[in-house]
Structure 1
Amino acid sequence: MCRRGVSPDIARAIMRTNTTAIGAVMVHRGEADSLICGTFGEFGWHLNYVNQVLGRDGFRPHGALSMMILEDGPLFIADTQVNLHPTPEQIAEIAIGAARHVRRFGIEPKVALCSQSQFGNQGEGSGKRLRAALQILDAGNHDFVYEGEMNIDTALDPELRARLLPCNRMEGAANVLVFAHADAASGVRNILKMKGDGLEVGPILMGMGNRAHIVSPSITARGLLNVGAIAGTPVAHYG
């Protein structure tokens, strides 16, 4: 870090007092398999240290994915933390990463790009970026179902979707909701947790090879146990 304005004295102080930096360096040195942090402080603060240390190993965080366990099954929400205002390229990457992680749970992903706009009925706003992301996805060769942009209720209600968007290519209810704003994704996640009796598993920090996960200060002991189970999955089986 000497070329990033960090003097030896500052480095020593950080490595004596900053548990996130200590844990990230332990993972980098092979002294630990994974790091869980975030029970206090701001997500971006922890992400900065994780990214600076583990980025040297070729990892790059591209999104945070939360699994909400509800009465009728799991629902995945992204990106709740990492990209506050993601570009179309980032949205496409988030969708691909989310689909990959959902399969780790033995679930076939059905990804909906969610917005106030619906199949182009609003020219500007988040729908514009989601439509661009859809074009990026269409240009690739992907083995999961995705569709958008659409409202949340349209994504979750197949009958409503068939009536409003008869040319859509998704069957059944979406189980992955990808948003163009972290505010929207985080808000949906928190509403489901507080008012929908949803049990959150995560956030899962995508792109880090399962070497680091950053939770929120509101996480419970059970939530930490769930993230610990994810972190304990062998790296070879996680992305």
Structure 2
Amino acid sequence: MELMKKIYDMAKADKKRIVLPEGEEERTLVAAEKIKNEGLAELILVGSEDVINEKAKELNVDISGIEIVNPETSKKTSEYAKALYELRKHKGVTIDKAEKMVLDTVYYGTMMVKLDDADGMVSGAIHTTGDLLRPGLQIIKTAPGINAVSSFFLMEVPNCEYGENGFLLFADCAVNPNPTAEQLASIAISTAESARGLAKIEPKVAMLSFSTMGSASHELVDKVKKATEIAKEQRSDIMIDGELQLDAAIVPKVAAQKAPNSKVAGSANVLVFPDLQAGNIGYKLVQRFAKAEAIGPICQGFAKPINDLSRGCSPEDIVNVVAVTAVQAQSK
């Protein structure tokens, strides 16, 4: 896949430290060997050193040279607990509770990122999305000017003329069920930045709806209109337009009829869906019907990069998300 080759090359050019809090998980260990051999990142596996080494031996994978950290025995655990207490004491977290929280491998990994002992984190092979988002929002928090953590998929459609020769970003497909207009604007801005920083393309953002430029009247359309106005006001340097139906967003002939004055219509490469139902259904339709490669969901909006995996992920999925996270970390 051409896109992943580019991301691999970028990751190798400026290697970052990525923590994997599911270090004892088998797919993670298989992925770790490939990440090490490919030189995509400097890895940190969180878990029991004995358990990790024993499982690696059983799987016949070579993880020699990869750092292993056990929260139960690490000298950093006390430091992380104190830092977590300071961050969360206003929410009623005591030092005793903080000491217990950092023994959780995902909280431990999140604290590593917060305190710059790692540049990014990837989790989710055995943890839920909530298990990642909760400490992420509590500890890492959102980037300045961003009011919603969201997600996007990198979609690469074979033999396709739409977007950037078949390459597009879809958002939000995994995090926000029913974003407000303000959140939708934030999602649009975050995804545009991801297009620039990760995909190295100039974003043309379409705010999708079942209406194009006032062709339908409904409160759902009004939300997309308002989100478009907010996003344009906040970031005049980004090409954002809406509301647009999907065909008007990507098909030049349709755009010429429905939105002739739009600089985005007909050539959009970033598609912002109005809610999670539309986004999730949309990316899966393209993935299955068009046999597209769908990389993600990739988190965005955090002050530092942390990313989620599907619990059905393959070792190759983990490798890809680690590479993406490493490239995200290069711009932080």
Instruction: Give the TM-score range, shorter chain.
Output: 0.7 to 0.9
Matched-pair contact (CA < 8 Å) for 1:117–1:126: no
Say yes or no: does 1:94 pair with 2:181: no
1:46 to 128, 132, 136: 132
Aligned to 1:177: 271
Aligned to 2:153: 66
- Secondary structure of the 1:233 match is helix
2:175 to 55, 71, 82: 82
- Secondary structure of the 1:232 match is helix
Whichever residue aligns with residue 102 of structure 1, its letter is: A
Say yes or no: does 1:203 pair with 2:288: no
Question: Structure 2 CA distance, aligned partners of 1:148 and 1:215?
Answer: 31
1:3 Cα offset (Å): 4.3
Aligned to 1:36: 122
1:151 Cα offset (Å): 1.5
Question: Structure 1 CA distance, aligned partners of 2:265 and 2:222?
Answer: 24
Aligned to 1:23: 109
Question: Structure 1 CA distance, aligned partners of 2:301 and 2:216?
Answer: 32
- Secondary structure of the 1:192 match is helix
Whichever residue aligns with residue 157 of structure 2, its letter is: L
Aligned to 2:233: 139
Whichever residue aligns with residue 76 of structure 1, its letter is: L
1:228 Cα offset (Å): 0.8
Matched-pair contact (CA < 8 Å) for 1:51–1:61: no
Question: Structure 1 CA distance, aligned partners of 2:235 and 2:113?
Answer: 33
Question: Structure 1 CA distance, aligned partners of 2:235 and 2:92?
Answer: 43
Aligned to 1:116: 210
- Secondary structure of the 2:299 match is strand
Counterparts in 2 of 1:106 and 1:2: CA distance versus 1, 3 Å = closer
Question: Structure 2 CA distance, aligned partners of 1:196 and 1:218?
Answer: 21
Greater RCO (CA < 8 Å, at least 6 residues apart): 1
Say yes or no: does 1:193 pair with 2:325: no
Counterparts in 2 of 1:203 and 1:119: CA distance versus 1, 3 Å = same
Matched-pair contact (CA < 8 Å) for 2:173–2:276: yes
1:31 Cα offset (Å): 2.0
Higher alpha-carbon Rg: 2
Question: Structure 2 CA distance, aligned partners of 1:141 and 1:65?
Answer: 19
Say yes or no: does 1:127 pair with 2:221: yes
- 104-113 or 197-206: bigger deviation: 197-206
Structure 2: segments with no counterpart, 5+ residues: 1-87, 161-165
Percent identity between matched residues is 28
1:94 Cα offset (Å): 1.4
Question: Structure 1 CA distance, aligned partners of 2:169 and 2:328?
Answer: 22
Aligned to 2:91: 4
- Secondary structure of the 1:153 match is helix
Question: Structure 1 CA distance, aligned partners of 2:109 and 2:265?
Answer: 43
Matched-pair contact (CA < 8 Å) for 1:112–1:146: yes
Whichever residue aligns with residue 323 of structure 2, its letter is: A
Structure 1: segments with no counterpart, 5+ residues: none
Counterparts in 2 of 1:19 and 1:196: CA distance versus 1, 3 Å = farther
Question: Structure 1 CA distance, aligned partners of 2:237 and 2:266?
Answer: 17
- Secondary structure of the 1:113 match is strand
Question: Structure 2 CA distance, aligned partners of 1:119 and 1:180?
Answer: 15
1:165 Cα offset (Å): 2.7
Whichever residue aligns with residue 102 of structure 2, its letter is: M
CA deviation string 1:49-75 (max 9, x = no partner):
111121299797532121112113211
